[in-house]
Amino acid sequence: MRLLPFLVAGLLCCTLEPAVSQQRDYAIRPLPLTAVHLSDGFWAPIIARDHTRTLPHALSECAKEGRMTNFDIAANRTKGKFCGIYPFDDSDIYKAIEGASYSLMDQPDAALEKTMDSVIALVTAAQRPDGYLYTARETNAPNLVNWMGPERWVNERNGSHEFYDAGHLYEAAVAYYQATGKRSLLDAAIRNADLIASTFGPGKRAIASGHEEIEVGLVKLYGVTHDEKYLRLARFLVNQRGTISHPDANPDDPYSTGAYSQDDTPVVDQTTAEGHAVRAMYLYSAMTDLVAMQGDSAYLHALDLIWDNMVHTKYYITGGIGAIGNWEGFGRNYQLPDRTAYCETCAAIGCVLWNERMFRLTGDAKYVNVLEQTLYNGLISGISLDGMNFFYTNTLEVRKDFVHPDLERTRSPWFPCSCCPTNIIRLIPAIPGLIYAQGNGGIYVNLFAGSDATFSFPGNRTVKLIQQTGYPWTGRVTLILYPSASFSFPFFLRIPGWVGPHPVDGDLYHYTDSSTALPGLKVNGQAVPYEMVKGFAVIRRQWKKGDQVEWDLPMQIKRVLANEQVRDDRGKVALQRGPILYCAEWTDNGGRTSNIILPDAASLQTEFRPDLLGGVQVITGTVPALKASTDGLSLETASQPFTAIPYYAWANRGPGEMTVWLPRQVHDVEIIARNRP
């Protein structure tokens, strides 16, 4: 299960219960969704599809599976038994409300708002007078006692997810209040949070959440209420992790050690990304929030070490995280298998959320580079081009002769555990809020997408910014500034990681061409010098109405190699162009991909295909492919046409083979049977 975006900034601290005299926040702030209008040819259709197809589809599936009915039963308005096999299904409704809220900020829709009002009425009717809200318990679901325990919160650490549900409730409530000004759900969230704050904390009950999420939700509640008890409770819960011993722990079993839920060691002593990847992303997001609010150097030191470990040793080239299906999470350093890659869609979403926070905390573009690599590849691969089918896991290779329980060859319209579809619903409409930011006295352009945005500066000054681009298919970006009056401020333009020798920070992946072709940068048609600050090209000048910045990002095809310690990718190469990672899929390559070889000398071209997969840039060439040998003993090859498509678009034309990493030579081909046709 997973978490969402950026609306209210985060917060953290260092002592057990520091006094906070005034509300603080991230030094760098995202723009409100209402201040950004997207016209982009790539993202606008995806966001529109989420509004018109994905959200209604998810609400329909939730109703069909009884998610709505559970609230009616809990409110004693109808009779029946709990519908579902998981006690945390309430969270899917909350995530749908949150996603709908972001859609309403971007595109007011009276019918959608009316639907959400009716859903919220269901939710609030089910709440107990003291604020408790958890329909699995309120409907007395006997089949879920092992999950939730016989009493409130007694099994929270081991599976009830009561705090997880609460966190998503808080996020939904804050988002809907910001979108509509309506307080019904916000008041319900406050009652629930007040109940938990009166029960847990110093001198009261102590517990660590089993699935982190409440911590982020509490921070968001603080953002709208300014009630510091929510901030203190978030920190208290974070600090409970790693405070219980595991006398029978097996170091190879993350469940027994507590590592599965980042609960084996106090957070300030953790140095590696471990355990369930989604839980980890939510924990690290909450810690980053708390650092921003309360300035905890111990938390920040731990986060820096964990981020380095994840990005340098446990991060797929697709932007996916969480290699191991057994615990939906991180494995050992460099343990990144392709065919059995788990790469849960929710984990990719969590990765975007954490890295967005780390950028706002530090102003470093390396975090946006990871965010972009994940967003354009391993995140949107989780949803089909029709917006109504989903991947829970995102593999990097499909072969007709390989079967594995975690391998999904096609997307599904829904899942019994539907965390990924509803998480996508809340991430997609929030994307406009990731494009720009404001801080350090200036404007940050983080992502490149056709849009216009309005920035507010002290002294009642404003700047309207219009961005025009064909990104990610072209590297040409034009930015036109319209300040309300001429004044000076720094303008930060991110130089994407893929422009340099590495797509993201570290040596886990590198391009065969190690040169760094810095983009051309002009203002009003004239080349201008710029200062490099943490991966941003910074222009400092007096800006006037109509000033035009032209950004020319090089868009050549790049070959990617993995660190030799990644066993599955030795002797193999992947393809990337701009932020888009490519794969070979069966339907374009003679029905197979497991026989393709991509030599370093193979000439490759690129072209835009408006008729293919909604309009994509493809990579083409002629390459050798293995074929049946005449003697039945030797390896023989024959030349054949080759096409690679964006990884996010695979599995939209039926099931078949797919691969991201291609062998560079015949002897690098992995063969189960030497002469398999």
pLDDT over threshold 70, residue 8: no
Last residue of a domain, one of 503, 528, 552: 552
- The answer to whether residue 6 is domain-embedded is no
Local confidence band at 142 (pLDDT 50, 70, 90 cut-offs): confident
- Is the Cβ–Cβ distance between 607 and 589 less than 8 Å? no
Q: What angle do CA 530, 535, 540 make, to 5 degrees?
A: 30
What's the pLDDT at 672?
43
Same domain, 534 and 624: no
**SS3 (DSSP) at 366:** helix
Nearest to 188 by CA among 148, 237, 227, 130: 130
- The answer to whether residue 380 is domain-embedded is no
- The answer to whether residue 293 is domain-embedded is no
Same domain, 177 and 144: yes
- Is the Cβ–Cβ distance between 576 and 645 less than 8 Å? no
Q: b/e for 379-389, b at 16 or more Cβ within 10 A?
A: bbbbbbbebbb
Which 8-state DSSP code applies to residue 336?
A: -
d(CA 119, CA 185): 10
pLDDT over threshold 70, residue 4: no
Same domain, 523 and 606: no
- The answer to whether residue 294 is domain-embedded is no
What's the pLDDT at 470?
98
Indicate yes or no: pTM above 0.85. yes
What strands lie across the sheet with 36-38, from one edge to the other? 36-38, 451-457, 461-469, 476-483, 547-552, 520-523, 526-527
Same domain, 71 and 218: yes
Local confidence band at 424 (pLDDT 50, 70, 90 cut-offs): very high
Residue type (1 letter), 306: I
What's the pLDDT at 666?
86
How would you write 211-239 as a 3-class SS string? CCCHHHHHHHHHHHHCCHHHHHHHHHHHH
Q: Which of 37-41, 245-249, 518-522 has the highest mean pLDDT?
A: 37-41
Local confidence band at 207 (pLDDT 50, 70, 90 cut-offs): very high
What's the pLDDT at 1?
34
Q: Name residues whose C-beta falls within 8 Å of residue 617's C-beta, 6 or more positions apart in sequence.
A: 472, 473, 577, 580, 606, 607, 608, 609, 646
d(CA 278, CA 283): 9
d(CA 383, CA 424): 8
**SS3 (DSSP) at 542:** strand
Average pLDDT value for residue range 143-147: 88
Same domain, 536 and 639: no
- Is the Cβ–Cβ distance between 348 and 320 less than 8 Å? yes
Local confidence band at 670 (pLDDT 50, 70, 90 cut-offs): low
Whether the CA torsion 520, 522, 528, 534 is positive or negative: it is negative
What's the pLDDT at 669?
77
Average pLDDT value for residue range 68-81: 94
d(CA 90, CA 192): 14
Which pLDDT tens digit goes with each residue over 244-260? 877 777 888 888 889 99
- The answer to whether residue 382 is domain-embedded is no
Same domain, 565 and 455: no
Whole-number average pLDDT of the chain: 93
Residue 132's alpha-carbon distances to 66, 234, 275, 499, in angstroms, are 20, 18, 29, 51
Q: Lowest mean pLDDT of 20-29, 212-221, 420-429, 518-527, name the range.
A: 20-29
Same domain, 131 and 148: yes
- The answer to whether residue 263 is domain-embedded is no
Residue type (1 letter), 557: I
Average pLDDT value for residue range 564-587: 98
Same domain, 151 and 58: yes
What's the pLDDT at 636?
86
Residue type (1 letter), 57: H
- Is the Cβ–Cβ distance between 46 and 314 less than 8 Å? no
Local confidence band at 20 (pLDDT 50, 70, 90 cut-offs): very low
Average pLDDT value for residue range 325-351: 97
What's the pLDDT at 256?
84
Last residue of a domain, one of 552, 567, 602: 552
What's the pLDDT at 629?
61
What's the pLDDT at 13?
30
**SS3 (DSSP) at 87:** coil
What's the pLDDT at 634?
64
- The answer to whether residue 644 is domain-embedded is yes
Same domain, 82 and 161: yes
Residue 624: phi and psi, rounded to 5, are -80, 150
What strands lie across the sheet with 536-543, from one edge to the other? 29-30, 436-439, 442-445, 487-494, 536-543, 531-533
Local confidence band at 631 (pLDDT 50, 70, 90 cut-offs): low
Which pLDDT tens digit goes with each residue over 435-460? 999 999 999 999 999 999 999 999 99
Same domain, 93 and 222: yes
Q: How large a percentage of the chain has pLDDT more than 70?
A: 94
| CATH code for position 459 | 2.60.40.1180
Q: Which of 62, 343, 346, 419 is catalytic?
A: 419
- The answer to whether residue 321 is domain-embedded is no
- Is the Cβ–Cβ distance between 434 and 6 less than 8 Å? yes
Same domain, 115 and 155: yes
What's the pLDDT at 19?
32
Q: Which of 61, 328, 372, 657 is catalytic?
A: 328
Local confidence band at 351 (pLDDT 50, 70, 90 cut-offs): very high
pLDDT over threshold 50, residue 22: no
Residue type (1 letter), 420: C
What's the pLDDT at 671?
54
More confident residue, 296 or 383: 383
Average pLDDT value for residue range 501-513: 96
Q: What angle do CA 282, 315, 271 make, to 5 degrees?
A: 60
The question of whether 151 is a catalytic residue gets the answer no
Local confidence band at 233 (pLDDT 50, 70, 90 cut-offs): very high
- Is the Cβ–Cβ distance between 396 and 383 less than 8 Å? no
Q: 191 is in which domain, residue-wise?
A: 40-240
Q: How many residues does the chain have?
A: 677
What's the pLDDT at 255?
87
pLDDT over threshold 90, residue 277: yes
The question of whether 228 is a catalytic residue gets the answer no
Which pLDDT tens digit goes with each residue over 453-497? 999 999 999 999 999 999 999 999 999 999 999 999 999 999 999
- Is the Cβ–Cβ distance between 149 and 137 less than 8 Å? no
**SS3 (DSSP) at 563:** coil
Average pLDDT value for residue range 415-440: 97
- Is the Cβ–Cβ distance between 73 and 80 less than 8 Å? yes
Average pLDDT value for residue range 634-651: 93
Average pLDDT value for residue range 30-48: 96
Average pLDDT value for residue range 206-222: 97
**SS3 (DSSP) at 451:** strand
Average pLDDT value for residue range 308-312: 98
Same domain, 127 and 231: yes
- DSSP for 621-668, written as a single string: EEEEEEE--SSSSS-EEEEEEEEEEEGGGTTSS-S--EESSEESSGGG
Local confidence band at 175 (pLDDT 50, 70, 90 cut-offs): very high
Q: How large a percentage of the chain has pLDDT more than 90?
A: 87
What's the pLDDT at 246?
75
Helices 184-199 & 214-225 angle (0-180, nearest 10): 120
Q: Structure tokens of 20?
A: 């906070």
**How many domains, the chain?**
3
